[in-house]
Amino acid sequence: MKTIALVALSLIIGTVLAISPVWSQDEMTVVDNTDFPNAQRPPSVFVHDRHNENAGIDDCAVCHHVYDEGQLLEDESSEDQRCVDCHYLERMGDQPGLMEAFHANCKGCHEQEGNGPILCGECHVR
């Protein structure tokens, strides 16, 4: 009887954990750095949803932007694409290379807002 109760209990707990969003999705906690051959730093801390909530960013296109011939398109966003899909390792014309794209986007806003980390080790946490 006891074993059956235990099995039932663990099934219930397992189900709750599996459907609870906190546990079922592997939420992004760092920016993937595997596109950089021989990355020199640990990947940058970035808890996507929590970050954007705390920073009060509602518009996805602040980071996931779309340009048409140099013009930023309002009301369009590119969250279905990765930064590396457009930003190659090397800069291409006005399109910054991958590392520059991240640093300008992330650090650029932190500097502008006077809020958020700007030191290497605050993002690339060992």
Q: Does 91 bind ligand HEC (CB under 6 A)?
A: no
Residues with Cβ < 8 Å from 105, sequence gap 6 or more?
A: 63
Q: Are 103 and 113 in contact (CB under 8 A)?
A: no
CB of 20 to ligand HEC, least distance (A): 17
Smallest separation (angstroms) from ligand HEC to the CB of 18: 18
- The residues, ordered by sequence, that sit 6+ positions from 109 with a Cβ below 8 Å of its Cβ are 55, 62, 116
Q: Please give the structure tokens belonging to residue 47.
A: 């808890």
Angle at 108 between CA 95 and CA 30, to 5 degrees: 85
Separation of alpha carbons 17 and 113, rounded Å: 38
**Complex with ligand HEC: residue 8 or 120, whichever CB lies closer:** 120
Q: Is 26 among the residues that bind ligand HEC (CB under 6 A)?
A: no
Stretch that binds ligand HEC, among 2-10, 14-22, 25-33 (CB under 6 A): 25-33
Binding-residue pattern over the window 48 to 87 for ligand HEC, x denoting contact by CB under 6 A: x-xxx-xx-x--x-xxxxxx--x-------xx-xxxxxxx
Q: Token digits for 91?
A: 């800069």
Residues that bind ligand HEC (CB under 6 A): 28, 30-33, 36, 39-41, 43-48, 50-52, 54-55, 57, 60, 62-67, 70, 78-79, 81-87, 94-96, 99, 101-107, 109-110, 113, 115-120, 122-124
